[in-house]
Amino acid sequence: MSFKQIDKNIAGDCYTSTEAMDNLTIMCDEFGSRFGGTPGEKQAADFMKQKLESYGLTNVRLEPFEYTGWIRGSAKLEIIEPIQKAIPCISLPHSPPANFTAELYDAGDGAPSIFADDADSMKGKVVLADSQTYPAGSKRWVHRNEKYGRSMLNGAEAFLFMNHYPAYGPATGGIGHNGKGGIIPGISVSYEDGSFLQRLLKRHGKVVLKVVTTDENKPMTSWNVVGDIVGDGLSDQVVMLGSHYDGHDISQGAQDPASGAVSVLETARLLASHAGKLPCTVRFALWGVEEIGLIGSYIFADKHAADMPNYRFYFNMDGAGSVKNKGVNLNEWPEIESLVKDWAQDIAFDFKTNQSVHAHSDHYPFLLKGVPTGGLESVPKSTGGRGYGHTAYDTLDKVSLRELQDAAYLASLVALRVASVPAADWKATHRTPAEVEELLAMPDYTEVAEFEKMIDAHYTKLGL
Ligand SMILES: [Zn+2]
Protein backbone atom coordinates (compact mmCIF):
# COMPACT_ATOMS: atom_id res chain seq x y z
CA MET A 1 0.00 0.00 0.00
CA SER A 2 1.29 3.49 -0.77
CA PHE A 3 1.98 6.00 2.00
CA LYS A 4 -0.83 8.13 0.59
CA GLN A 5 -3.37 5.35 1.07
CA ILE A 6 -2.11 4.54 4.59
CA ASP A 7 -2.23 8.26 5.46
CA LYS A 8 -5.84 8.39 4.28
CA ASN A 9 -6.81 5.36 6.31
CA ILE A 10 -5.10 6.76 9.40
CA ALA A 11 -6.68 10.20 8.93
CA GLY A 12 -10.15 8.74 8.44
CA ASP A 13 -9.88 6.65 11.58
CA CYS A 14 -8.10 9.30 13.68
CA TYR A 15 -10.54 12.14 12.97
CA THR A 16 -13.68 10.05 13.41
CA SER A 17 -12.68 8.52 16.74
CA THR A 18 -13.04 9.86 20.28
CA GLU A 19 -10.71 7.18 21.66
CA ALA A 20 -7.95 9.62 22.65
CA MET A 21 -10.30 11.84 24.65
CA ASP A 22 -12.03 8.81 26.19
CA ASN A 23 -8.64 7.58 27.37
CA LEU A 24 -7.65 11.01 28.65
CA THR A 25 -10.86 11.26 30.65
CA ILE A 26 -10.17 7.93 32.36
CA MET A 27 -6.50 8.77 32.96
CA CYS A 28 -7.37 12.10 34.63
CA ASP A 29 -10.78 11.67 36.21
CA GLU A 30 -10.36 8.06 37.37
CA PHE A 31 -6.66 7.82 38.18
CA GLY A 32 -5.97 11.38 39.32
CA SER A 33 -2.43 12.72 39.21
CA ARG A 34 -0.74 9.33 38.63
CA PHE A 35 2.13 10.79 40.66
CA GLY A 36 4.76 8.24 41.74
CA GLY A 37 3.52 6.25 44.73
CA THR A 38 -0.20 7.05 44.36
CA PRO A 39 -2.70 4.21 43.73
CA GLY A 40 -3.67 5.90 40.44
CA GLU A 41 -0.15 5.46 39.11
CA LYS A 42 -0.39 1.66 39.02
CA GLN A 43 -4.02 1.79 37.84
CA ALA A 44 -2.91 3.99 34.91
CA ALA A 45 -0.03 1.65 34.06
CA ASP A 46 -2.36 -1.38 34.04
CA PHE A 47 -4.94 0.52 31.99
CA MET A 48 -2.41 1.55 29.32
CA LYS A 49 -1.02 -1.99 29.13
CA GLN A 50 -4.52 -3.35 28.57
CA LYS A 51 -5.18 -0.65 25.92
CA LEU A 52 -2.00 -1.49 23.98
CA GLU A 53 -2.96 -5.18 24.06
CA SER A 54 -6.45 -4.40 22.82
CA TYR A 55 -4.93 -2.46 19.88
CA GLY A 56 -3.08 -5.62 18.84
CA LEU A 57 0.43 -4.75 20.01
CA THR A 58 2.71 -7.58 21.07
CA ASN A 59 5.18 -8.10 23.87
CA VAL A 60 3.20 -5.59 25.95
CA ARG A 61 4.68 -5.44 29.41
CA LEU A 62 5.16 -3.49 32.60
CA GLU A 63 8.83 -3.05 33.41
CA PRO A 64 9.03 -2.38 37.17
CA PHE A 65 11.91 -0.44 38.70
CA GLU A 66 12.99 0.79 42.12
CA TYR A 67 13.69 4.44 42.81
CA THR A 68 13.74 7.06 45.55
CA GLY A 69 10.14 8.24 45.80
CA TRP A 70 8.64 11.11 47.71
CA ILE A 71 5.58 11.56 49.92
CA ARG A 72 4.18 15.01 50.48
CA GLY A 73 3.73 15.98 54.11
CA SER A 74 2.55 19.23 55.65
CA ALA A 75 4.29 22.52 54.86
CA LYS A 76 4.24 25.69 56.98
CA LEU A 77 5.83 29.01 56.13
CA GLU A 78 5.67 31.90 58.59
CA ILE A 79 7.04 35.40 58.50
CA ILE A 80 8.71 36.01 61.88
CA GLU A 81 10.17 39.48 61.18
CA PRO A 82 9.31 42.32 60.59
CA ILE A 83 5.70 41.19 61.00
CA GLN A 84 4.11 37.88 61.88
CA LYS A 85 2.06 36.21 59.22
CA ALA A 86 1.52 32.70 57.89
CA ILE A 87 1.88 32.23 54.11
CA PRO A 88 0.35 29.23 52.27
CA CYS A 89 3.09 27.12 50.66
CA ILE A 90 3.79 23.68 49.24
CA SER A 91 6.98 21.63 49.19
CA LEU A 92 8.68 20.82 45.90
CA PRO A 93 8.86 17.07 45.18
CA HIS A 94 12.08 15.44 46.45
CA SER A 95 12.50 18.17 49.04
CA PRO A 96 13.90 16.83 52.31
CA PRO A 97 11.90 17.67 55.46
CA ALA A 98 12.73 21.07 56.91
CA ASN A 99 12.67 22.91 60.24
CA PHE A 100 14.61 26.17 60.21
CA THR A 101 14.50 29.93 60.63
CA ALA A 102 16.43 32.06 58.13
CA GLU A 103 16.51 35.40 56.36
CA LEU A 104 14.98 35.87 52.93
CA TYR A 105 17.09 36.70 49.85
CA ASP A 106 15.35 37.86 46.67
CA ALA A 107 17.00 36.51 43.49
CA GLY A 108 14.20 37.85 41.27
CA ASP A 109 13.80 35.88 38.05
CA GLY A 110 16.72 33.62 38.95
CA ALA A 111 19.04 34.53 36.07
CA PRO A 112 22.36 32.63 36.29
CA SER A 113 24.19 35.97 36.48
CA ILE A 114 22.71 36.91 39.86
CA PHE A 115 23.92 33.61 41.34
CA ALA A 116 27.41 34.36 40.00
CA ASP A 117 27.47 38.04 41.03
CA ASP A 118 25.94 37.89 44.51
CA ALA A 119 26.87 34.40 45.75
CA ASP A 120 28.10 35.50 49.19
CA SER A 121 24.85 37.28 50.09
CA MET A 122 22.88 34.04 49.64
CA LYS A 123 24.78 32.02 52.25
CA GLY A 124 22.47 30.68 54.98
CA LYS A 125 19.40 32.39 53.51
CA VAL A 126 16.15 31.32 51.91
CA VAL A 127 16.75 32.18 48.25
CA LEU A 128 13.58 33.23 46.43
CA ALA A 129 13.49 32.93 42.62
CA ASP A 130 10.45 33.08 40.36
CA SER A 131 9.36 30.74 37.58
CA GLN A 132 10.30 32.91 34.57
CA THR A 133 11.62 30.44 32.02
CA TYR A 134 13.66 33.01 30.11
CA PRO A 135 15.09 35.33 32.81
CA ALA A 136 16.38 38.72 31.70
CA GLY A 137 19.53 38.37 29.60
CA SER A 138 19.12 34.64 29.05
CA LYS A 139 18.57 33.18 25.58
CA ARG A 140 17.78 29.75 26.94
CA TRP A 141 15.25 28.13 29.27
CA VAL A 142 16.59 28.33 32.81
CA HIS A 143 14.95 25.44 34.61
CA ARG A 144 13.61 25.60 38.18
CA ASN A 145 16.05 22.88 39.21
CA GLU A 146 18.95 24.98 37.96
CA LYS A 147 17.81 27.90 40.13
CA TYR A 148 17.48 25.47 43.04
CA GLY A 149 20.92 23.97 42.33
CA ARG A 150 22.65 27.34 42.04
CA SER A 151 21.06 28.40 45.38
CA MET A 152 22.42 25.21 46.96
CA LEU A 153 25.90 25.72 45.49
CA ASN A 154 25.89 29.23 46.99
CA GLY A 155 25.21 27.81 50.45
CA ALA A 156 21.53 28.74 50.74
CA GLU A 157 19.54 27.30 53.65
CA ALA A 158 16.56 26.66 51.37
CA PHE A 159 15.03 27.53 48.00
CA LEU A 160 11.74 29.39 47.69
CA PHE A 161 10.07 29.10 44.28
CA MET A 162 7.57 31.79 43.36
CA ASN A 163 5.07 31.46 40.51
CA HIS A 164 5.48 34.36 38.07
CA TYR A 165 1.90 33.90 36.82
CA PRO A 166 -0.87 35.55 38.85
CA ALA A 167 -3.90 33.56 40.00
CA TYR A 168 -2.55 30.02 39.47
CA GLY A 169 -1.43 29.40 43.08
CA PRO A 170 1.98 27.87 43.76
CA ALA A 171 3.72 25.92 40.97
CA THR A 172 5.31 22.58 41.72
CA GLY A 173 8.24 20.74 40.13
CA GLY A 174 10.90 18.25 41.17
CA ILE A 175 14.28 19.18 42.60
CA GLY A 176 17.46 17.17 43.06
CA HIS A 177 19.91 15.50 40.74
CA ASN A 178 19.66 12.34 38.61
CA GLY A 179 16.81 10.93 40.66
CA LYS A 180 18.58 11.65 43.94
CA GLY A 181 16.56 13.83 46.28
CA GLY A 182 17.24 17.48 46.93
CA ILE A 183 19.79 18.38 49.61
CA ILE A 184 18.35 21.70 50.79
CA PRO A 185 14.57 22.15 51.22
CA GLY A 186 12.56 23.56 48.33
CA ILE A 187 9.18 25.23 48.88
CA SER A 188 6.83 27.11 46.59
CA VAL A 189 4.42 30.04 46.89
CA SER A 190 1.93 31.82 44.66
CA TYR A 191 2.73 34.96 42.68
CA GLU A 192 0.70 37.06 45.11
CA ASP A 193 2.40 35.77 48.26
CA GLY A 194 5.83 35.91 46.63
CA SER A 195 5.23 39.51 45.57
CA PHE A 196 4.19 40.32 49.14
CA LEU A 197 7.45 38.87 50.49
CA GLN A 198 9.45 40.83 47.91
CA ARG A 199 7.72 44.11 48.86
CA LEU A 200 8.27 43.45 52.53
CA LEU A 201 11.99 42.79 51.97
CA LYS A 202 12.36 45.90 49.85
CA ARG A 203 10.70 48.13 52.44
CA HIS A 204 12.31 46.69 55.59
CA GLY A 205 15.66 45.38 54.31
CA LYS A 206 15.27 42.21 56.35
CA VAL A 207 12.63 39.47 56.41
CA VAL A 208 12.97 36.38 58.60
CA LEU A 209 11.06 33.21 57.73
CA LYS A 210 10.34 30.05 59.65
CA VAL A 211 9.72 26.88 57.64
CA VAL A 212 8.53 23.49 58.88
CA THR A 213 7.82 20.66 56.42
CA THR A 214 7.34 16.93 56.97
CA ASP A 215 7.90 15.42 53.52
CA GLU A 216 9.52 12.05 53.17
CA ASN A 217 11.92 10.57 50.60
CA LYS A 218 11.67 6.76 50.54
CA PRO A 219 12.26 3.73 48.28
CA MET A 220 9.37 2.97 45.90
CA THR A 221 8.50 0.93 42.81
CA SER A 222 7.23 2.36 39.52
CA TRP A 223 6.54 0.93 36.08
CA ASN A 224 7.37 1.72 32.46
CA VAL A 225 4.72 0.40 30.06
CA VAL A 226 6.16 -0.90 26.78
CA GLY A 227 4.64 -2.58 23.72
CA ASP A 228 5.62 -3.32 20.12
CA ILE A 229 4.31 -3.33 16.61
CA VAL A 230 6.79 -5.91 15.41
CA GLY A 231 8.52 -5.26 12.08
CA ASP A 232 8.69 -7.58 9.07
CA GLY A 233 11.71 -9.38 10.51
CA LEU A 234 14.16 -8.18 7.87
CA SER A 235 15.66 -5.50 10.12
CA ASP A 236 16.47 -5.37 13.82
CA GLN A 237 15.96 -1.59 13.84
CA VAL A 238 13.57 -0.01 16.34
CA VAL A 239 11.68 3.29 16.17
CA MET A 240 10.43 4.36 19.58
CA LEU A 241 7.72 6.81 20.62
CA GLY A 242 7.16 7.75 24.23
CA SER A 243 5.66 10.05 26.83
CA HIS A 244 5.65 9.93 30.59
CA TYR A 245 2.30 9.33 32.29
CA ASP A 246 2.96 10.62 35.81
CA GLY A 247 1.63 14.08 36.60
CA HIS A 248 2.35 16.17 39.68
CA ASP A 249 0.44 15.25 42.82
CA ILE A 250 -1.33 18.62 43.13
CA SER A 251 -2.92 18.28 39.68
CA GLN A 252 -4.55 16.02 37.10
CA GLY A 253 -1.56 16.65 34.83
CA ALA A 254 -3.98 16.64 31.90
CA GLN A 255 -1.81 18.59 29.48
CA ASP A 256 1.52 17.62 30.98
CA PRO A 257 1.82 14.76 30.44
CA ALA A 258 -1.48 12.90 29.95
CA SER A 259 -2.32 14.59 26.62
CA GLY A 260 1.00 13.13 25.43
CA ALA A 261 0.51 9.69 26.96
CA VAL A 262 -2.91 9.23 25.30
CA SER A 263 -1.47 10.55 22.01
CA VAL A 264 1.15 7.80 22.20
CA LEU A 265 -1.63 5.24 22.82
CA GLU A 266 -3.63 6.64 19.91
CA THR A 267 -0.58 6.54 17.61
CA ALA A 268 -0.13 2.88 18.57
CA ARG A 269 -3.77 2.17 17.76
CA LEU A 270 -3.63 3.94 14.38
CA LEU A 271 -0.37 2.35 13.23
CA ALA A 272 -1.36 -1.12 14.42
CA SER A 273 -4.67 -0.83 12.55
CA HIS A 274 -3.47 0.66 9.27
CA ALA A 275 0.30 0.52 8.65
CA GLY A 276 0.71 -3.16 7.85
CA LYS A 277 4.11 -4.79 8.35
CA LEU A 278 6.85 -2.16 8.51
CA PRO A 279 10.58 -2.77 8.03
CA CYS A 280 11.34 -1.55 11.58
CA THR A 281 9.69 -2.49 14.85
CA VAL A 282 7.78 0.46 16.28
CA ARG A 283 8.01 0.43 20.09
CA PHE A 284 5.76 2.49 22.34
CA ALA A 285 6.71 3.54 25.86
CA LEU A 286 4.80 5.20 28.67
CA TRP A 287 7.36 6.33 31.21
CA GLY A 288 6.95 6.33 34.98
CA VAL A 289 8.14 9.13 37.30
CA GLU A 290 9.49 11.63 34.82
CA GLU A 291 8.45 14.55 36.97
CA ILE A 292 11.00 13.90 39.68
CA GLY A 293 14.01 13.30 37.45
CA LEU A 294 13.23 11.42 34.17
CA ILE A 295 13.63 8.28 36.26
CA GLY A 296 11.71 5.71 34.17
CA SER A 297 13.37 6.63 30.89
CA TYR A 298 16.88 6.80 32.43
CA ILE A 299 16.40 3.33 33.88
CA PHE A 300 15.07 1.95 30.58
CA ALA A 301 17.97 3.40 28.55
CA ASP A 302 20.47 1.94 31.04
CA LYS A 303 18.79 -1.45 31.37
CA HIS A 304 18.59 -1.82 27.58
CA ALA A 305 21.90 -0.11 26.82
CA ALA A 306 23.09 -3.07 24.75
CA ASP A 307 20.08 -2.63 22.39
CA MET A 308 20.48 1.12 21.96
CA PRO A 309 22.58 0.81 18.75
CA ASN A 310 19.45 -0.69 17.13
CA TYR A 311 17.31 2.30 18.06
CA ARG A 312 17.00 4.25 14.83
CA PHE A 313 15.03 7.12 16.41
CA TYR A 314 13.35 8.07 19.67
CA PHE A 315 10.43 10.49 19.28
CA ASN A 316 9.29 12.17 22.51
CA MET A 317 5.64 13.17 22.97
CA ASP A 318 5.55 14.73 26.46
CA GLY A 319 2.29 16.68 26.63
CA ALA A 320 2.02 16.37 22.82
CA GLY A 321 -1.76 16.74 22.74
CA SER A 322 -1.55 20.27 24.10
CA VAL A 323 1.51 21.50 22.19
CA LYS A 324 0.68 24.61 20.15
CA ASN A 325 2.14 24.84 16.61
CA LYS A 326 2.85 21.12 16.52
CA GLY A 327 6.11 20.40 14.72
CA VAL A 328 9.14 18.13 14.81
CA ASN A 329 12.07 19.28 16.89
CA LEU A 330 15.25 17.35 16.14
CA ASN A 331 17.98 17.33 18.78
CA GLU A 332 20.67 18.64 16.41
CA TRP A 333 20.41 16.07 13.63
CA PRO A 334 20.87 18.17 10.48
CA GLU A 335 21.50 14.92 8.53
CA ILE A 336 17.78 14.12 8.54
CA GLU A 337 16.28 17.60 8.48
CA SER A 338 15.73 17.67 4.72
CA LEU A 339 14.15 14.23 4.85
CA VAL A 340 11.68 15.34 7.52
CA LYS A 341 11.04 18.61 5.65
CA ASP A 342 10.16 16.58 2.55
CA TRP A 343 7.62 14.65 4.60
CA ALA A 344 6.04 17.93 5.65
CA GLN A 345 5.45 18.58 1.94
CA ASP A 346 4.25 15.06 1.36
CA ILE A 347 1.66 14.72 4.13
CA ALA A 348 -1.37 16.91 4.46
CA PHE A 349 -0.31 18.38 7.78
CA ASP A 350 1.42 21.72 7.81
CA PHE A 351 4.24 21.22 10.30
CA LYS A 352 7.65 22.82 10.70
CA THR A 353 10.98 21.46 11.89
CA ASN A 354 13.54 22.85 14.29
CA GLN A 355 16.88 21.82 15.77
CA SER A 356 17.53 22.31 19.49
CA VAL A 357 18.55 20.42 22.60
CA HIS A 358 17.18 20.54 26.12
CA ALA A 359 17.49 18.12 29.01
CA HIS A 360 13.99 18.34 30.48
CA SER A 361 12.11 15.33 29.17
CA ASP A 362 12.45 11.63 28.37
CA HIS A 363 14.35 11.99 25.10
CA TYR A 364 17.40 13.05 27.08
CA PRO A 365 18.55 9.65 28.44
CA PHE A 366 18.41 8.38 24.83
CA LEU A 367 20.29 11.40 23.54
CA LEU A 368 23.04 10.72 26.11
CA LYS A 369 23.30 7.16 24.73
CA GLY A 370 23.90 8.58 21.25
CA VAL A 371 20.47 7.64 19.86
CA PRO A 372 19.00 10.04 17.26
CA THR A 373 16.21 11.83 19.09
CA GLY A 374 13.54 14.44 18.61
CA GLY A 375 10.12 15.35 19.80
CA LEU A 376 6.68 16.58 18.93
CA GLU A 377 7.16 20.13 20.16
CA SER A 378 6.11 23.65 19.40
CA VAL A 379 7.90 24.97 16.29
CA PRO A 380 8.85 27.77 16.42
CA LYS A 381 9.90 27.14 19.99
CA SER A 382 7.58 28.67 22.55
CA THR A 383 9.27 30.97 25.05
CA GLY A 384 6.09 31.57 27.01
CA GLY A 385 6.73 29.29 30.00
CA ARG A 386 4.39 26.75 31.53
CA GLY A 387 1.32 28.87 32.26
CA TYR A 388 -0.91 26.80 34.52
CA GLY A 389 1.29 23.73 33.88
CA HIS A 390 2.62 22.26 37.14
CA THR A 391 -0.23 23.91 39.07
CA ALA A 392 -3.55 22.57 40.35
CA TYR A 393 -5.20 23.99 37.21
CA ASP A 394 -3.71 21.60 34.63
CA THR A 395 -7.04 19.83 34.28
CA LEU A 396 -8.94 17.86 31.64
CA ASP A 397 -11.17 20.77 30.66
CA LYS A 398 -8.14 22.51 29.09
CA VAL A 399 -7.62 19.79 26.44
CA SER A 400 -9.58 19.34 23.21
CA LEU A 401 -10.18 16.19 21.17
CA ARG A 402 -8.94 17.93 18.04
CA GLU A 403 -5.55 18.67 19.63
CA LEU A 404 -5.15 15.03 20.64
CA GLN A 405 -6.11 13.89 17.14
CA ASP A 406 -3.59 16.27 15.57
CA ALA A 407 -0.79 14.96 17.80
CA ALA A 408 -1.60 11.32 17.03
CA TYR A 409 -2.02 11.99 13.30
CA LEU A 410 1.32 13.80 12.99
CA ALA A 411 3.16 11.24 15.13
CA SER A 412 1.66 8.33 13.16
CA LEU A 413 2.71 9.73 9.81
CA VAL A 414 6.21 10.59 11.01
CA ALA A 415 6.70 7.18 12.69
CA LEU A 416 5.38 5.40 9.58
CA ARG A 417 8.01 7.13 7.48
CA VAL A 418 10.93 6.80 9.90
CA ALA A 419 10.19 3.07 10.16
CA SER A 420 9.98 2.68 6.37
CA VAL A 421 13.08 4.55 5.18
CA PRO A 422 15.67 2.13 3.74
CA ALA A 423 18.71 1.96 6.04
CA ALA A 424 20.89 3.62 3.39
CA ASP A 425 18.65 6.69 3.34
CA TRP A 426 18.52 7.14 7.11
CA LYS A 427 21.54 9.39 7.58
CA ALA A 428 21.40 9.91 11.34
CA THR A 429 24.06 7.61 12.75
CA HIS A 430 24.49 7.20 16.51
CA ARG A 431 26.78 9.64 18.27
CA THR A 432 29.81 8.29 20.07
CA PRO A 433 30.21 9.33 23.74
CA ALA A 434 32.79 11.89 22.58
CA GLU A 435 30.35 13.30 20.02
CA VAL A 436 27.64 13.57 22.68
CA GLU A 437 30.05 15.51 24.87
CA GLU A 438 30.97 17.70 21.92
CA LEU A 439 27.29 18.42 21.27
CA LEU A 440 26.71 19.46 24.86
CA ALA A 441 29.78 21.71 24.66
CA MET A 442 28.23 23.78 21.85
CA PRO A 443 28.08 27.46 22.82
CA ASP A 444 24.31 27.38 23.40
CA TYR A 445 24.60 24.54 25.90
CA THR A 446 27.90 25.12 27.74
CA GLU A 447 26.36 27.09 30.60
CA VAL A 448 24.04 24.20 31.46
CA ALA A 449 26.78 21.59 30.98
CA GLU A 450 29.09 23.49 33.36
CA PHE A 451 26.30 23.83 35.91
CA GLU A 452 25.60 20.08 35.70
CA LYS A 453 29.29 19.35 36.33
CA MET A 454 29.28 21.53 39.47
CA ILE A 455 26.16 19.79 40.78
CA ASP A 456 27.69 16.38 40.06
CA ALA A 457 30.79 17.37 42.00
CA HIS A 458 28.66 18.69 44.89
CA TYR A 459 26.72 15.40 45.21
CA THR A 460 29.96 13.41 44.93
CA LYS A 461 31.57 15.54 47.66
CA LEU A 462 28.63 14.75 49.94
CA GLY A 463 29.01 11.05 49.16
CA LEU A 464 25.62 10.88 47.37
ZN1 LIG B 1 6.07 16.39 31.08
- Determine the 3-state secondary structure of 176 from DSSP: coil
**Residue 51 · residue 22 · CB < 8 Å:** no
pLDDT at res. 329: 97
What pLDDT sits at residue 325?
95
CA 154 to ligand 1 center in whole angstroms: 28
pLDDT at 383 over 80: no
Nearest-angstrom CA–CA distance, 449 and 457: 12
Give distance in angstroms: CA of 239 to centre of ligand 1: 21
Where exactly does CATH 3.50.30.30 map onto the chain? 73-214
Ligand 1 centroid, distance to 360 Cα (angstroms):
8
Q: Which of 363, 413, 462, 451 is nearest to 150 (CA)?
A: 451
Is 80 exceeded by the pLDDT of residue 1?
no
Looking at per-residue pLDDT, the higher value among 388 and 383 belongs to 388
> How far does the centroid of ligand 1 lie from the alpha carbon of residue 244, in Å?
6
**Rounded alpha-carbon distances, angstroms, from residue 299 to 188, 227, 246, 262, 420:** 29, 17, 15, 22, 28
Mean pLDDT of 377-391: 88
What is the mean pLDDT of the segment spanning 195-216?
98
Check if CATH label 3.20.10.10 holds for domain 73-214: no
282-314 residue pLDDT tens: 999 999 999 999 999 999 999 999 999 999 999
Quote the pLDDT of residue 86: 98
pLDDT at 444: 73
Q: What pLDDT score was predicted for residue 386?
A: 86
Q: What is the pLDDT of residue 138?
A: 87
C-alpha 279 – ligand 1 centre gap (Å): 30
Report the length, in residues, of the chain: 464
Average pLDDT over residues 109-133: 97
Neighbours of 142 (CB within 10 A): 21
CB–CB of 244/261 below 8 Å? yes
What CATH number does domain 3-69+218-431 carry, 2.60.120.260, 3.90.550.10, 1.20.1090.10, 3.40.630.10? 3.40.630.10
Percent of the chain with pLDDT over 70: 100
Please compute the mean of the pLDDT values over residues 409-438 and round it to a whole number.
96
pLDDT at residue 431, as a whole number: 98
User: How far, in Å, is the centroid of ligand 1 from the Cα of 86?
Assistant: 32
Torsion of CA 253, 145, 160, 296, to 10 degrees: 40
Q: What is the whole-number distance in angstroms between the Cα of residue 256 and the centre of ligand 1?
A: 5
Ligand 1 center from residue 335 Cα (angstroms): 27
Please give the distance, rounded to the nearest whole angstrom, from the Cα atom of residue 319 to the centre of ligand 1. 6
Residue spans in the chain of domains classed CATH 3.40.630.10: 3-69+218-431
Distance 253 CA to ligand 1 centre (A): 9
Return the closest-CA partner of residue 414 out of 271, 318, 205.
271
**Spacing, Cα 210 to ligand 1 middle (Å):** 32
Cα(362) to ligand 1 centroid in Å equals 8
